[in-house]
Amino acid sequence: MALHNRISAAELKVKLAAETFRRVTVSFYQYAKIEDPKAFRDDLYLKLDELRVFGRIYVASEGINAQISIPEHHFEEFRNRLYAYPFLNGIRLNIAVDDDGKSFWVLKIKVREKIVADGIEDPSFSMENKGKYLKAKEFNDLTDDPDTIVVDMRNHYEYEVGHFQNAIEVPSDTFREQLPMAVDMLKEKKDANIVMYCTGGIRCEKASAYMLHHGFKNVFHLEGGIIEYTNKAKEQGLPLKFKGKNFVFDDRLGERITDEIISNCHQCGKPCDTHTNCKNDGCHLLFIQCEECAAKYDGCCSEECQTVYHLEPEVQQEMRKGVDKGVMAFNKAKQRLRPRINE
């Protein structure tokens, strides 16, 4: 049996659109020692592909990190197959909050050095000593204390569209940058209660261990992250302390948690929290764009990209080869935002 997809993206998307059954979007992770990540990856691929599971899964010697879409009628069988692996037996499955079932259209399972790129090279660092889990009510209770420090361990573009009340942003583009920054920002607060959170729990769990490794005493992390918190808070009738939209790493680019819109269109400045990728294939910048600007600029992030977007495909392809490298539209560095067009 094939261990990789061999069908074109266009055909896969057509097949997804034609499906008549409902899909469930799920995320999960587990830090655990995997002796042979490649063999585990191949075995898992066969089991999930047979059930028409789509999504993105990373496997490493330190564990597994997954965001997937499962046909609803295969959900129980999926869980049985997953739990058959001893180190995954009984793990929490985070069910998406706002889900249209079209989050993924292909299954990709990749072996990586780590399931979260953290930049940690200290051989004495261990995930065995990590912070204390907080369930939804415990999180609400502890963060009612004004002396509790709440730390968002996500990237800037995630924090921008939604975050917990009074949460501190660690302003960076990558998790590997955030870890030492968080230690430095809070170095005078080593005895305070520090609560860390992220989307599904994987980053804040590692961050809590990193903080303890650097001498912090009272470190907590939100069990299951924003996704699990939201589901449990709604089930239990708890006040929702998260405001706005939760950014997710699939085709949805976000799931609505509350009605508040706390960010702005990067082009005109009006309230908006809809992320999109620039339609210029030589750019694909992730940015926030309102419906009016999307129509005005054809889904592009700048007038330069809009001009390129309307060129003949062959011309665009030549430009992407580097014939013209002086145009900012082709800057693929970590620059997040461009000046607003009306500026």
Counting every residue, how long is the chain? 343
Query: What pLDDT, on the 0 to 100 scale, is given for residue 91?
Result: 93
pLDDT at 329 > cutoff 60? no
Q: Band of the pLDDT at 282, cuts 50, 70, 90?
A: confident
Q: Work out the mean pLDDT of the chain and round it to a whole number.
A: 89
**pLDDT digits 0-9 by tens, 96-137:** 876 677 778 899 999 999 998 899 999 999 888 999 999 999
Catalytic, 290? Answer no
Q: State how far the Cα of 168 lies from the Cα of 202, in Å rounded to an integer.
A: 18
DSSP 3-state helix, strand, coil percentages of the chain (rounded to 5)?
35, 20, 45
Query: What pLDDT, on the 0 to 100 scale, is given for residue 70?
Result: 95
Of 331 and 214, the one with more pLDDT: 214
Q: Which CATH number fits domain 9-111: 3.40.50.10440, 3.30.70.100, 3.90.1720.10, 3.20.20.70?
A: 3.30.70.100
What is the percent of the chain with per-residue pLDDT over 90, rounded to a whole number?
72
Measured in degrees and rounded to the nearest 5, phi and psi for residue 77 equal -65, -40
Task: Report, as an integer, the average pLDDT of 255-283.
Answer: 93
Helix 136-143 × helix 225-236 angle, to 10°: 90
pLDDT at 263 > cutoff 90? yes
Cα–Cα separations (whole angstroms), residue 71 to 77, 88, 105: 10, 20, 12
Q: Band of the pLDDT at 252, cuts 50, 70, 90?
A: confident
Tokens of 92: 């929490």
**pLDDT digits 0-9 by tens, 293-312:** 999 999 999 999 999 999 99
**pLDDT digits 0-9 by tens, 309-326:** 999 988 888 887 754 433
Query: What pLDDT, on the 0 to 100 scale, is given for residue 172?
Result: 82
Task: Report, as an integer, the average pLDDT of 175-194.
Answer: 95
Query: What pLDDT, on the 0 to 100 scale, is given for residue 272?
Result: 96
Contacts of 282 by beta carbon, 8 Å cutoff, 6+ apart: 305, 308, 316, 319, 320, 329, 330
Task: Report, as an integer, the average pLDDT of 213-219.
Answer: 96
Query: What pLDDT, on the 0 to 100 scale, is given for residue 162?
Result: 96
Task: Report, as an integer, the average pLDDT of 174-179.
Answer: 91
Please give the sequence-ordered ranges of beta strands (E in DSSP) within the chain, or none if there are none: 23-31, 54-60, 63-71, 94-95, 107-111, 132-134, 149-152, 162-164, 168-169, 193-197, 218-222, 242-246, 255-256, 275-277, 286-288
CATH topology of domain 132-236: Oxidized Rhodanese; domain 1 (3.40.250)
Q: State how far the Cα of 140 lies from the Cα of 134, in Å rounded to an integer.
A: 9
Between CA 196 and CA 198, with CA 231 as vertex, the angle to 5 degrees is: 20
Considering 198, 272, 290, 301, which one is annotated as catalytic? 198
Tokens of 277: 């990728």
Identify whether the C-beta of residue 196 lies closer than 8 Å to the C-beta of residue 208: yes
The domains of the chain are located at 9-111, 132-236, 275-334
